[in-house]
Structure 1
Amino acid sequence: MASLYTLPQFHSPTHFSKPKTKLKKPIKIKSLKGWKEYDEAVKKKDLARALKFLKTTQTQQQAQQTQPSSSGLYMGNEDGLSFLGTGRDWEVLDACLNADDMKLVGNAYKFLQDRGFLPSFGITRNIVLEGSRDITPTALKSSTGLEASKLSPKKWGLSGSSSAVLVAFLGGTSYLISQGIDIRPNIAAVLGLAFLDSILLGGSCLAQISSYWPPYRRRILVHEAGHLLTGKYFTSNQAGTQFWDEKLENELADGRLSSASFDRYCMVLFAGIAAEALVYGEAEGGENDENLFRSICLLLQPPLPIAQMSNQARWAVLQSYNLLKWHRHVHLAAFKALESGDSLSAVIRKIEEAILENR
């Protein structure tokens, strides 16, 4: 911020004194060291230290802007480093990755929002979702043009790209056996591990291995972009499919769960499935999301009956599908950022830019 000067004081018609103040001051080594420590905190994912530095820097800048100098003039940022913070504040989001303290993550997003960096964050948090709550398979098809089965996760190896991987694996196995290379004991071990992965981890290990295949990797990124974008609209988000909502956490701590919080959480859970269906015409992934949804429904008091559980799932996937459809260009921007391997802060920034471009 440029320094603000008072009008010169005239002592005679032919003479006036100029304020003795330097327009430029040398960059303070201490400030440079502080930003270096900030970089180190972000690199080490030390969110508490990175956020503390930004808050301290903001407080110092505000004090310098209102405190008069020794010459009686109000000065701007005296360390000459205010320009560094403008683009660097975003990087605190990278320290949110794998953070254990979700309230601290929420504080980081709130800090950036207060600074004006996240004008679109949570803009539809209190959206009024109109229409019937009773979503039958017929109503779902009428709204999306897709059968209900297209909006459900598939078992790995039974459809789409995963089936091609399975066929290639079985073909390769048959060829090796025909060449006298008996790998059946190894196959038995692999199938046993795959079975345990499917039961205990929802097939996440096989999905991780399959992600190295480009077409499947793109599908995963489409899925994750759906989670990220919907989470950004409705909750405070972290990386991947980990989301946190302070209101939801407080309600669960009190042993209750409002319908609004439950609806938002379900929409985030089913957003990945909705994104796949929107882009590819059907969903393959999302088995873990569906299993988590069932677990939450069974923890409610009283637990949701099967019929109501199925209706809630259809309602949530329809709402997420429509939200992503309305903001398709934003979902595309999120997907491209993830595909490019951008950091979380860069991904969030590109989402913000895409939203603002179309307002």
Structure 2
Amino acid sequence: MNQAAINLIAVFVFLITLSTLLEPLIHLSPTIPILTMVGFLGIATLDNFSFQGKGGMIVLDWLARFSPENPDRILHDETGHFLVAQLLGIPVTGYTLSAWEAWKLGQPGQGGVTLEDSEIIAQQLEKGKIGVSMVELYCNIWMAGIAAENVVFKSAEGGGDDKAKLNQFLQALGFEEKIFEQKQRFYLLQAKNSDSGQLG
């Protein structure tokens, strides 16, 4: 479960607790906030365990759409992935710009680009036979979205999925967890150099 979902649950629990404390003033039965909280937490638990938090991601993505800057950030993030993939010669076969679209297509995360040979990489990774050049290419592509946001907006709000993919990839390659952040910064810098020539 990501940090935003945890924060949303904490706010919800706070509001329910507040309504329970204010119950004598607003003449609300104490069972209503309790049942609401149990129902909400039950749904959140079911979503987390059965759907890997996709329902929460869809709700958070929907709420984020009310921010006027968010759609532009998502667009630039995915454009960064697309541009770097094209520059590095990896064909892009599709993309999604929302968690709902990603869920409908069966993609993990909040959306993103679909690369033509991602299944080949997964097979190579399982066998433990993946070339260094392929590692470099994919790591650059995953960090390109954050780099594009940094180039255009001078900060990155998204990229949690991208960092998670990179960390999962590095872990499968046998890297220690303490090296992940260093690798993220390295590939972010490389992707930023690729992006800035195209976006700047």
TM-score (norm 2): 0.63
Mark the runs of 5 or more structure 1 residues left unpaired by the alignment. Answer: 1-153, 330-359
In proportion to residue count, which structure has more helix?
Answer: 2
Alpha carbons of structure 1 residues 315 and 180: separation in structure 2 relative to 1, 3 Å: farther
RMSD (Å) for aligned C-alpha atoms: 3.8
* Structure 2: distance between partners of 1:206 and 1:298: 29
Give the equivalent residue in structure 1 for 2:35.
185
Q: Which one of the candidate residues 89, 94, 117 is aligned to 1:239?
A: 94
Q: CA deviation at 1:237?
A: 0.6
Q: CA deviation at 1:289?
A: 2.2
Q: CA deviation at 1:267?
A: 1.4
> Deviation digits for residues 23-72 of structure 1, max 9, x if unmatched?
xxxxxxxxxxxxxxxxxxxxxxxxxxxxxxxxxxxxxxxxxxxxxxxxxx
Q: Contact 1:155–1:284 (CA<8 Å) still a contact in 2?
A: no
For residue 192 of structure 2, what is the amino acid of its counterpart?
Answer: Y
Alpha carbons of structure 1 residues 191 and 317: separation in structure 2 relative to 1, 3 Å: farther
- 3-state SS, counterpart of residue 224 of structure 1: helix
- The alignment status of 1:326 with 2:176, answered yes or no, reads no
Kindly report which structure 2 residues correspond to 1:262-301, keeping only aligned pairs within 5 A, or say none: 262-300=135-173
Give the equivalent residue in structure 1 for 2:110.
none
- 3-state SS, counterpart of residue 239 of structure 1: strand
Alpha carbons of structure 1 residues 308 and 248: separation in structure 2 relative to 1, 3 Å: farther
* Structure 2: distance between partners of 1:224 and 1:271: 8
Q: Contact 1:228–1:239 (CA<8 Å) still a contact in 2?
A: no
* Structure 1: distance between partners of 2:12 and 2:129: 48
For residue 252 of structure 1, what is the amino acid of its counterpart?
Answer: Q
Alpha carbons of structure 1 residues 250 and 307: separation in structure 2 relative to 1, 3 Å: closer
Q: Contact 1:269–1:289 (CA<8 Å) still a contact in 2?
A: yes
Q: CA deviation at 1:252?
A: 1.0
TM-score (norm 1): 0.38
Q: Contact 1:230–1:268 (CA<8 Å) still a contact in 2?
A: yes
Give the equivalent residue in structure 2 for 1:112.
none
Q: CA deviation at 1:197?
A: 5.1
> Deviation digits for residues 61-119 of structure 1, max 9, x if unmatched?
xxxxxxxxxxxxxxxxxxxxxxxxxxxxxxxxxxxxxxxxxxxxxxxxxxxxxxxxxxx
- The alignment status of 1:316 with 2:187, answered yes or no, reads yes
Give the equivalent residue in structure 1 for 2:79.
225
State percent identity of aligned pairs.
21
Q: CA deviation at 1:320?
A: 1.4
Q: CA deviation at 1:283?
A: 2.4
Alpha carbons of structure 1 residues 186 and 255: separation in structure 2 relative to 1, 3 Å: same
> Deviation digits for residues 253-310 of structure 1, max 9, x if unmatched?
764111111111111112222223333333222222222222222222xx11123333
- The alignment status of 1:212 with 2:65, answered yes or no, reads yes
For residue 265 of structure 1, what is the amino acid of its counterpart?
Answer: Y
Mark the runs of 5 or more structure 2 residues left unpaired by the alignment. Answer: 96-112
- 3-state SS, counterpart of residue 185 of structure 2: helix
Q: How many residue pairs are counted as aligned between the two chains?
A: 169
Give the equivalent residue in structure 1 for 2:134.
261
Q: CA deviation at 1:229?
A: 2.0
